[in-house]
A and B are shown apart, each in its own frame.
Chain A
Amino acid sequence: MTGLPGQRQVRSGETMIRFSVNGHEREFAGDENMPLLWVVRDIFGLTGTKFGCGAGLCGACTVHIDGRAQRSCVVAAKAAHGRSITTIEGLADRSMHAVQRAWIEYDVPQCGYCQAGQIMAVVDLLERNPQPTDAEIDASHTNICRCGTYARMRKAIHRAAEIMSEEA
């Protein structure tokens, strides 16, 4: 995978970092401390995962690593070695995920920039807690939305839970 920005020949004594992204085997030979966010965006060209703060505070960069939501701006590439990564682009397979469908039903986004991260975080929440109460949602969903789509988001989370239980 040389020739891409940030990629270079692996020097002796170095490791090639290998992981799967959205079901495809990928490898990365660059700065092993580069946050996974930038590997995904700049090296693999998957720009659906967003940069918001670089400090793990806002959640715009949320991906799934081995099925669990993580903020990729504070995960070093080397920590992803051997793992399975899912980004927003890999969430839907033949049809959209229930969370994506609920988001559409409620016309949730305003600017939309935080929404990929919101959706990835909510998917993880609902996989662990299929029927969360408002208090449970409050406690676990801490992604920032600067435009203020929280009112609709709350409704869409409950709706997604409903869809998922109907389709279970």
Chain B
Amino acid sequence: MSGGTRREFIKVSVAGAIGLCLGLPSRSFGQPLASVAVLHPLINIGSDGKVIIYAQNPEMGQGVKTSLPMIIGEELDVDWSRIVVMQSDFNAEFDNQFSGGSLSIRLNYDDMRRIGATARQMLVLAAADRLGAGIEQLRTEAGQVHYDEANLSLSYGELAEAAATQAVPDNPPLRDESDFRIIGTPIRDVDLEDIVLGRQQYGQDVVLPHMLVAAVKRCPVSDGQPESFDDEETRSVAGVVDVVMLRNDQYGGRIILPNSPNFVSGVAVLAEHTWAAMEGARRLKVNWKLPAQLDDSETLMAEFDKALEQPGEIIRDDGDLQEEIRIADRSIDVTYRLPFLAHVPMEPMNCTVHVEDDQITVWAPTQNPSSIVDALVELLGVAPDAIAVKVMRSGGAFGRRFYADFAVDAAILSAHAKRPVKVVWTREDDIRHDYFRPACAQNVKAAANSDGQIIAWHQKLASHSRMPFLARDGSAAEIDNYEFPAGFVPNLRFEYVHVPSRIPVGQWRAVEHSANVFVVASVLDELAHAVNVDPVAMLLRLIGDEQYVQVLEDFRFDASRLRNVVQKAAEAANWGQPVAQGRGKGIAVSYNQGSWVAEVAEVSVVEQRLTVHRIVAVLDCGRVINPSAARSQVEGGIIEGISATLMGKITVSDGVVTQSNFNDYPICRLAQVAEIDVRFVDSTEPPRGLGEPPLPPVAPAICNAIFAATGRRIRELPLNTMFSV
């Protein structure tokens, strides 16, 4: 068992963790309150048999509030219908309590199994005591411990109190994976009923006694500061209570800690209710001190082009590029350009904080509660255990809620007002003060022979990287040395030129893969057409027939799983079958967050009108925990990819983000989504990442399909600048 989970069990059982748990609806008139045994911070069992499993990781629509408890429930051996799931608050004892990097299941699968199995074993030990049996004479089944020889059984409810005081067993038996009854079955979201009835609470919905709502008029240029303000009109709005300047230079500057950006400075309007706060902020007149140099995204793109002519940091260098390009049958030299992209989660940013003398409570739709604790400790000098973070279900996040910026100003305002404060952002605030997916320009010089063998690949990226912007250690490069096709093309170089800028950037879903896979998959398609080889045949030739390819000394890549998804996707898409006039198909593959993905898009272009008819996606992500949620994740990632490809672009002019709402940063609607066919490779391998992998291949699959349909090669996005969508 990992050190973390055992530590959690011991802490709980040594403390004699039996107690009344207030708030549980387990009482009827005239009956004693059920007592609840806490076997583990994530498992409570009531004397009435009620099982509460807590979801460790924040839920943002990726389904982990359902799937992580499924894993515990499986090993605990309880019927899913008997389990009540609740969201866990932040707990500093947990090892991996964050949602990001497609890691929630990948990092926690083994631990959740052991937690469930350990609790089950403690129940068995308690039963052994009570029944006078040996452990080997007992078995569990759906919440009961059975002593078959004596025809006796005890329920988990009857055993819970005694189980909680058992010594924590070291190596509890795990259920045989071929015997899974919950894992691998489609389970509906635990909050589904609440959501459709309008009862589900989000951060936006928090209401507390004496709470004030705050809207912050932030500097339109992200690193400007307010100098003075005129609040006469603001204070005439009924309900406005106070107006407070918020300067991040008084609270640590733009970056709090590595990968933890601070709030953007501005002036806050505190009011009795949301409309008054927003109206008040609208009427505020602020004099800003702006930096001398103001960023412009078009200028930055031109700087990227110039940077591509400069030598960069060599990320990987195999073989002899120059020679191979020189002697190849065909070589290409192409440059791709990609824009900044915004997160725009459906629920605009918000946070509620109550700062009291000895306690700070935060209600945050967050992907990363520990970042909020760290930020408040750093900036307000409070002790970590004085901070409680209530993790709210997020109305979408996509990477935006990984930071603490949106919590920090709420805490400052609450301390100032001596009341709970909920900071709410408008949609305009959200778009204008995002941490964008970095823009980039990428040049690829590549060469292939007429038999379809790719023999040289020189990929050079110029971008304004999130790594130095967020004060993160290590290389600035927005490409890793193991990204496909590294290891597959014998003469290959990855090179990176960093161009600094102050346009805020951060992690967007799939991070650098959202840009790099577009370039790689498009260039592979360009090469295929350059030597007149079918793109699927070229991919299969590139991937080769060996099972493993040694991509790095310590990274042996399973190429057979990539080959498999390519073949299955091509088959499912009827690749090679004749298509109607004006239609075309394109394929793209990716290995990211540990999973292998192949996607085929079928599009048509009729008089400049582009229609995406069908996307086929085949994924190998190892064992699928919840097929319903997993399918949703793939559909969602694909639709997010379609939306960004068709219409996503953020521009900055004179330091100010141009876009403001869904009229000028559109998101695709139901009409733009036709058929999505998702297939998982049946696998019993340990689970890999799934949240991000489906997204990157969509853009190149669509653009490769456009080429097949029209002969027009797309090297810049979004598509709505070239087609009507």
Find out whether the CB atom of A110 lies under 8 angstroms from the CB atom of B636: yes
Q: Secondary structure of the A side of the interface?
A: loop
Please, which residue of chain B has its CB at the minimum distance from the CB of A135? B671
Find out whether the CB atom of A92 lies under 8 angstroms from the CB atom of B637: no
CB-CB under 8 A for A148 and B273, given A52-B427, A110-B61 = no
Find out whether the CB atom of B662 lies under 8 angstroms from the CB atom of A57: yes
Bound-state CA distance A108–B59 (Å) is 16
Does B22 count as interface, using CB distance less than 8 angstroms? no
Bound-state CA distance A100–B62 (Å) is 21
Residue of A35, A43, A111 touching B396 (CB-CB under 8 A): A111
Find out whether the CB atom of B676 lies under 8 angstroms from the CB atom of A151: yes
Max chain B C-beta neighbours (<10 A), residue from A31, A109, A138? A109
Find out whether the CB atom of A152 lies under 8 angstroms from the CB atom of B238: no
Bound-state CA distance A105–B196 (Å) is 11
Find out whether the CB atom of A141 lies under 8 angstroms from the CB atom of B670: yes
How many chain A residues have a CB neighbour from B under 8 Å?
61
Bound-state CA distance A144–B673 (Å) is 12
List of B residues within 8 angstroms of A57 by Cβ:
661-663
Max chain B C-beta neighbours (<10 A), residue from A34, A42, A111? A111
Does A38 count as interface, using CB distance less than 8 angstroms? yes
CB-CB under 8 A for A42 and B275, given A114-B346, A146-B396 = yes
Does A145 count as interface, using CB distance less than 8 angstroms? yes
List of A residues within 8 angstroms of B670 by Cβ:
137-138, 141-143, 145, 150, 153-154
Does B394 count as interface, using CB distance less than 8 angstroms? yes
0/1 interface trace, chain A 45-61, chain B, CB 8 Å (1 if under): 11111111111011010
Does A25 count as interface, using CB distance less than 8 angstroms? no
Find out whether the CB atom of A148 lies under 8 angstroms from the CB atom of B640: yes
Max chain B C-beta neighbours (<10 A), residue from A30, A55, A107? A107
List of B residues within 8 angstroms of A19 by Cβ:
none
Does A89 count as interface, using CB distance less than 8 angstroms? yes
Bound-state CA distance A6–B241 (Å) is 12
Find out whether the CB atom of B197 lies under 8 angstroms from the CB atom of A107: no
Find out whether the CB atom of B347 lies under 8 angstroms from the CB atom of A104: no
Bin the interface of chain B by size.
35 or more
Give the Cβ gap from A75 to chain B, nearest Cβ, in Å. 13
CB-CB contacts below 8 Å: B160-219 with A: 186, 188-189, 191-193, 195-202, 204-205, 207, 213
List of B residues within 8 angstroms of A35 by Cβ:
275
List of B residues within 8 angstroms of A112 by Cβ:
61, 189, 191, 195, 200, 393, 395
Does B53 count as interface, using CB distance less than 8 angstroms? no
0/1 interface trace, chain B 256-276, chain A, CB 8 Å (1 if under): 000000000000000011111
Does B345 count as interface, using CB distance less than 8 angstroms? yes
Find out whether the CB atom of B189 lies under 8 angstroms from the CB atom of A107: yes
Find out whether the CB atom of B662 lies under 8 angstroms from the CB atom of A138: no
Please, which residue of chain B has its CB at the minimum distance from the CB of A60? B346
0/1 interface trace, chain B 641-676, chain A, CB 8 Å (1 if under): 001000000000000000001110001011101011
Does A83 count as interface, using CB distance less than 8 angstroms? no
0/1 interface trace, chain A 95-132, chain B, CB 8 Å (1 if under): 01000100110010111111110010000000000000
Find out whether the CB atom of A144 lies under 8 angstroms from the CB atom of B667: yes
Find out whether the CB atom of B62 lies under 8 angstroms from the CB atom of A110: yes
Give the Cβ gap from B615 to chain A, nearest Cβ, in Å. 10
List of B residues within 8 angstroms of A87 by Cβ:
198
Give the Cβ gap from B347 to chain A, nearest Cβ, in Å. 5
Find out whether the CB atom of A51 lies under 8 angstroms from the CB atom of B348: yes
List of A residues within 8 angstroms of B196 by Cβ:
96, 100, 103-104, 109, 115-116, 119
Report, nearest first, the 9 A-B pairs whose CB atoms are least far apart.
A48-B198, A113-B395, A148-B639, A111-B61, A88-B198, A110-B61, A138-B671, A112-B195, A148-B636
A residues engaging B (CB < 8 A)?
A: 5-6, 8, 30-31, 34-35, 38, 41-43, 45-55, 57-58, 60, 87-89, 91-92, 96, 100, 103-104, 107, 109-116, 119, 137-139, 141-154
